[in-house]
Structure 1
Amino acid sequence: MSTSTPDTTTRRVAIVTGGSRGIGRGVAERLAADGYAVVVGYGGRADAAEQVVAAVGEAGGEAVAVQADVADEQAVARMFDLAEERFGGVDVVVNAAGRMDLAPLADYDLDVFDRLIRTNVRGTFVVGQQAVRRLRRGGSIVAFSSSVVGLAFPGYAAYAASKGAVEALTLILARELRGRDVTVNTVAPGPTATELFLEANDEERIAHLAAQPPLERLGTPEDIAEVVAFLASPAGHWVNGQVLRANGGII
């Protein structure tokens, strides 16, 4: 955790949930490189979150790690409180926290289903609710879906359903923010080489998916972070209420 005094008159501030690993870490480090002070939200991996904070600090940025279950409204509110107290406000909220538990619908454990929906759907709703209440003018909300919503792979029914809910929220929330000068968009990555993805798929399936896009590779967290950085920037502010399928052309 950095100890320098923040300049709250010009600093832009981002909260990135799921910021300790994978795409979330890529986003946190990319936004820090753009000059944002970053709140790295994490669920259980404090060591990984502190590694992100250290990496940001070594690159000349400022970040702080905060534990928060995204589906817990009180924990999420405390995370926003800390961002405001430490850095003076919040301009960008990126909800990259998520679960991926795969099985055919007929065999899917309903307790696992409930946990997945709690994180992916309720978590998106809770983080979005705090963002709506807290974001400064000119801000951006970025949520995460998945290109599997359109690809409809067998075994992904629960995960795709949870991400379809995120997509349904996107344009509605953008319209509810009329007059606030705040954008709302969702990024839907294709197969991306994150720990979450690699743990959920066997080697044969990973190789098959990597061969599908015309670019003939898996995406990387850095690929997706570039899309998020654009949406969070003034250059991307005219994009609003959209679901962007960042997947290398996989169909």
Structure 2
Amino acid sequence: MADIGLDTKIALVTGATRGVGLAVARKLCAAGARVVLNYAHSADDARRAVEELAPLKGEAVALRADVTRPEELARLLGQVRERYGRLDVFVHNAASWHPAPAVGADPAGVRADLSAALDPLLHGAPAIADLMDDGTGCRPGGRIVAVSSSGAHSVIPHYVGPGVAKAALESLVRYLAVELAGRGIAVNAVSTAKIDKGPGTPQPEVAAVLAARTPAGRLTSPADVADTVALLCTAEAGWIHGQVIRADGGLGLRGQGGG
């Protein structure tokens, strides 16, 4: 693959052992980064992910932590500091989804979705920034990239929890971007449309309709999202701050983009 300047960069990707998170980890690892694959539950998924990434140019290790729990997030970031001494890229991909309509939604489920979207950055931002900025001004700028969803702006059936959560996440990205820009850290988000999960894609009839509506001719793949995340991690993207980049093949230009 083309050299995008990520050799020896230290990257931490949350929710990194499946789907979009794994695709992002694969992209960064293929570009030469040392990637920490964070996961909260399945050790088997983590083992398979590390094995899959082993032949790539970079390095992959898996560390378990529920990043919505402040004490576990602090432990994870401490492990990164002990192992590498710094952090160059933090990709926030962890999420939860409690399907529900807006009328009659379980408030506890909505709060859980909000927690998954916001807490890793709300609790982690000070430590993440310290890992990215050594105070000398000599270290190249850090990158924080959050994975969002078209549900932050479009109404998707039974998506109120993650929709509200992603909208709040995009707002948080803007606030963090302003406060961290002076430390050489760029904070941005990548928004996705409905993801093509292959034969297991939920609601295949809806997926087919959305694929047909997409100007680029198909659904968004995990690799599409990973490519966009990687672009935001390059040195050339250093002047992009607080933006939400849509990686949806143009579907958002036609209204509802799916989840």
Same fold per superposition (TM over 0.5) = yes
SS at 1:41 equivalent: strand
SS at 1:47 equivalent: helix
Out of 36, 51, 54, the residue aligned to residue 48 of structure 2 is: 51
Q: Tell me by how many angstroms 1:97 deviates.
A: 0.8
Measure the CA separation in 1 of the matches of 2:107 and 2:181.
Answer: 38
**Aligned equivalent of 1:207:** 208
Measure the CA separation in 2 of the matches of 1:129 and 1:147.
Answer: 28
**Aligned equivalent of 2:4:** none
Measure the CA separation in 1 of the matches of 2:126 and 2:165.
Answer: 18
1:120-139 alignment to 2 at 5 Å? Answer: 120-136=117-133, 137=139, 138-139=141-142
Q: Tell me by how many angstroms 1:154 deviates.
A: 3.1
Contact 1:43 1:68 in 2 (8 A): yes
Amino acid at match of 2:81: E
Q: CA RMSD in A?
A: 1.9
Consecutive unaligned residues of structure 2, counting only runs of 5 or more, are 1-6, 134-138, 255-259
Consecutive unaligned residues of structure 1, counting only runs of 5 or more, are 1-9
**Aligned equivalent of 1:64:** 61
Contact 2:100 2:158 in 1 (8 A): yes
Contact 2:211 2:218 in 1 (8 A): yes
Measure the CA separation in 2 of the matches of 1:85 and 1:231.
Answer: 26
**Aligned equivalent of 2:153:** 150
Q: Tell me by how many angstroms 1:100 deviates.
A: 2.4
Q: Tell me by how many angstroms 1:132 deviates.
A: 2.2
Q: TM-score, normalised by structure 1?
A: 0.88
1:164 aligns with 2:159: no
When structure 1 is superposed on structure 2, of 218-227 and 111-120 the one drifting more is 111-120
Measure the CA separation in 1 of the matches of 2:223 and 2:22.
Answer: 9
Cα deviations by residue, 1:48-107 (Å, 9 ceiling, x for unpaired): 122221222222431111111111112112211222222231100001111123221123
When structure 1 is superposed on structure 2, of 135-144 and 52-61 the one drifting more is 52-61
Out of 1, 18, 21, the residue aligned to residue 21 of structure 1 is: 18
Contact 2:38 2:63 in 1 (8 A): yes
Percent identical pairs in the alignment equals 36
Q: Tell me by how many angstroms 1:150 deviates.
A: 2.2
Measure the CA separation in 2 of the matches of 1:60 and 1:216.
Answer: 32
Measure the CA separation in 2 of the matches of 1:112 and 1:75.
Answer: 21
Q: How many residues align?
A: 239
Q: TM-score, normalised by structure 2?
A: 0.86
**Aligned equivalent of 1:116:** 113
Measure the CA separation in 1 of the matches of 2:205 and 2:17.
Answer: 27
Q: Tell me by how many angstroms 1:179 deviates.
A: 2.2
